[in-house]
């Protein structure tokens, strides 16, 4: 089996580090606090939640995970919540009976998901007023089971896109009343997450503990990479591991992906050449997507993106030197371009460090732009 996972979590054996974040999350859960964390895309938010849930299994704490990225409104949210509770409780007979009694009042419809074959529950609710009651009811149901439960809501910033305007207040009020149910909120849009949790006028303000999730430390990652390869009798030296981490910028997904492909090649002695060949192969496979990106933004934005890629990290995009070197026009042009690229999530503004900087979000795209 390829030990470098690229789209799921299996067990601690395949999971690198995150020790302090894991400990903080577990401590918060044991101390009845809700936690929020934001991190850039593909750095390992979902995997961290799954890792914590894996460890909670042994502690008799029920864990519920919902990803609300695809939800459009309060109805979708309520259905996701109901559905995930339903999927947890059939395992426990007496519990599911009680769940059913509570939920019968909400006229549930059970269907089978065509792709996964798992049963899906949806509630036949048409009035907004009904939703406002359903969420507190579902949470109250969990709370009175006298079982410690953690609900992780992934891509939580999505609630800001719902047409209903009172979602934050509704959730905050229901959550506040719970004794046995606690929450982990996580999201990848920095601005929106900040808006929900750090604005003094908004319902969630000061209601949660924050953690930050940065990239995995490269020394720790290097150790992990060596160990995973060596377990399978691959040979790799320290310099070549450094090369991998440099190419992937130590960003979790890109590191995993590059290692995954190197492993998949099956050549037991890894060299700098074979690493470079592998990344070229990945970039070639993605080229179609990169050309599509180019069609989605203006030529000026594309030039700016390329300039940022070449610089790798840029602290002061409005400095004459940068604008002049890359022929980017006026600072007003650059300002507009930066805003558009941040909005489209083509570049990322890392403010979680002493000296904030801009960088291309997708690390493989960054390499491709540099090589072109
Ligand atoms: N600590 C880790 N050790 C090893 N692999 C990891 C680790 N964290 C994440 N991964 C792997 O990296 C990939 C990206 O992680 P994940 O999906 O958790 O990121 P994410 O931040 O939730 O991304 P997105 O913003 O796209 O939802 C996954 O395939 C996962 O298996
Ligand atoms: Mg995720």
Rounded-to-integer distance, Cα 310 and Cα 273, Å = 22
Residue whose CB lies within 8 A of the most ligand 1 atoms, among 252, 260, 348, 361, for a mutation test: 252
Would you call 278 exposed, middle or buried from its count of C-beta atoms within 10 A (0-12, 13-18, 19+)? Answer: buried
Tens of pLDDT along the chain (372 residues) come to 999 999 999 999 999 999 999 999 999 999 999 999 999 999 999 999 999 999 998 888 999 999 999 999 988 998 899 888 888 876 455 666 666 676 666 677 777 777 777 777 777 766 666 777 888 888 988 898 888 999 999 999 999 999 998 899 999 999 999 999 999 999 998 889 999 999 999 999 988 999 989 999 999 999 999 999 999 999 999 999 999 999 999 999 999 999 999 999 999 999 999 999 999 999 999 999 999 999 999 999 999 999 999 999 999 999 999 999 999 999 999 999 999 999 999 999 998 889 999 999 999 999 999 998
Burial of 205 (0-12, 13-18, 19+ CB in 10 A): middle
State the distance from the centre of ligand 2 to the C-alpha of 80, rounded, in angstroms. 16
CB of 188 closer than 6 angstroms to any ligand 1 atom: yes
- Quote the tokens at residue 119: 């049963």
Expressed in angstroms and rounded, the spacing between residue 3 Cα and the centre of ligand 1 is 14
The length of the chain is: 372
Kind plus residue range of the DSSP H or E element containing 182: strand 181-187
Beta bridge partners of 348: 359
Residue 286's pLDDT is 97
Domain 297-372 indexed as CATH 1.20.1560.10: no
**Which CATH topology does 18-212 take?**
Rossmann fold (3.40.50)
Classified as helix, coil or strand, 206 is coil
The predicted pLDDT at position 59 comes to: 83
Closest ligand 1 atom to residue 5 Cα is 31
CA of 256 to the centre of ligand 2 (A): 15
Ligand nearest to the CA of 40: 1
CATH topology of domain 217-294: Helicase, Ruva Protein; domain 3 (1.10.8)
For residue 20, how far is its CA from the centre of ligand 2 (angstroms)?
Answer: 19
Looking at the DSSP bridge assignments, the partners of residue 349 are 358
Q: Note the ligand closest to the C-alpha atom of 44.
A: 1
Per DSSP bridges, beta strands 62-67 and 149-154 are parallel
Atom number, ligand 1, closest to the C-alpha of residue 49: 18
- Gap from CA of 333 to ligand 1 centroid (Å): 35
Q: What is the dihedral of CA 301, 307, 312, 315, to 10 degrees?
A: -80
Torsion of CA 10, 12, 13, 19, to 10 degrees: 140
Answer yes or no: are the C-beta atoms of 211 and 49 closer than 8 Å.
Answer: no
Closest residue by Cα to atom 5, ligand 1, is: 15
Six token digits for residue 110 = 């059970």
- Helices then strands, counting H and E runs in the chain, come out as 15, 9
6 in contact with ligand 1, CB cutoff 6 A = yes
Distance 40 CA to ligand 1 centre (A): 11
Q: Identify the CA nearest to 328 among candidates 349, 347, 301.
A: 301
Coil vs helix vs strand at 329 = coil
Report whether residue 247 contacts ligand 1, using a CB cutoff of 6 Å: no
Pocket test for ligand 1, best of 13, 16, 47, 224 (most atoms within 8 A of CB): 47
CA of 44 to the centre of ligand 2 (A): 7
Query: Tell me, what's the pLDDT at 142?
Result: 87
Q: Where are the alpha helices (DSSP H) in 58-112?
A: 74-88, 93-104
163: its two tokens: 């047409």
- With a 6 Å cutoff on the Cβ, whether 190 touches ligand 1 is no
What pLDDT does residue 353 have? 84
Longest dimension (CA), the chain: 71
Of 20, 42, 184, 245, the one to substitute when testing ligand 1's pocket (max ligand atoms within 8 A of C-beta) is: 42
Rounded Cα distance between 100 and 86, Å, is 9
Domain residue spans of the chain:
18-212, 217-294, 297-372
Query: How far is ligand 2, taken at its centre, from the CA of residue 313, in Å?
Result: 24
* Parallel, antiparallel or unpaired: strands 108-112 and 347-350: unpaired
């Amino acid at each position: 089996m390829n030990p470098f996972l690229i789209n799921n979590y299996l067990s601690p054996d395949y999971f690198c580090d995150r020790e302090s974040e894991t400990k903080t999350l577990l401590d918060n859960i044991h101390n009845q606090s809700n936690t929020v964390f934001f991190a850039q895309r593909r750095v390992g938010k979902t995997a961290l939640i799954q890792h914590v849930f894996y460890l909670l299994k042994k502690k008799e704490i029920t864990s519920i995970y919902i990803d609300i990225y695809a939800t459009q409104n309060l109805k979708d949210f309520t259905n996701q919540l109901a559905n995930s509770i339903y999927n947890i409780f059939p395992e426990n007979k007496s519990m599911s009976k009680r769940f059913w009694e509570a939920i019968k009042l909400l006229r549930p419809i059970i269907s089978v998901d065509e792709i996964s074959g798992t049963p899906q529950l949806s509630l036949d609710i048409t009035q907004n007023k009904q939703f406002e009651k359903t969420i507190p009811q579902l949470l109250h149901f969990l709370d009175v089971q006298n079982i410690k439960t953690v609900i992780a809501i992934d891509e939580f910033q999505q609630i800001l896109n719902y047409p209903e305007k009172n979602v934050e207040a509704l959730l905050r009020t229901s959550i506040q009343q719970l004794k046995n149910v606690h929450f982990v909120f996580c999201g990848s849009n920095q601005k929106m997450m900040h808006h929900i949790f750090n604005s003094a006028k908004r319902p969630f303000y000061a209601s949660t503990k924050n953690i930050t999730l940065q990239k995995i430390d490269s020394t720790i990652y290097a150790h992990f990479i060596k160990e995973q390869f060596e377990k399978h009798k691959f040979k790799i030296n320290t310099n070549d591991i450094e090369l991998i981490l440099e190419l992937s910028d130590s960003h979790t997904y890109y590191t995993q992906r590059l290692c995954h492909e190197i492993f998949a090649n099956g050549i037991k002695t890894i060299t700098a050449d074979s690493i470079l060949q592998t990344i070229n192969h990945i970039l070639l496979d993605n080229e179609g997507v990169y050309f599509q990106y180019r069609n989605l933004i203006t030529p000026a934005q594309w030039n700016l993106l390329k300039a940022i890629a070449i610089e790798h990290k840029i602290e002061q995009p409005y400095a004459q030197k940068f604008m002049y070197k890359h022929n980017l026009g006026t600072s007003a042009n650059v300002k507009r371009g930066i805003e558009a690229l941040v909005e489209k999530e083509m570049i990322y503004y890392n403010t979680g460090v002493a000296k904030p900087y801009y960088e291309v979000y997708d690390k493989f795209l960054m390499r491709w732009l540099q090589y072109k």
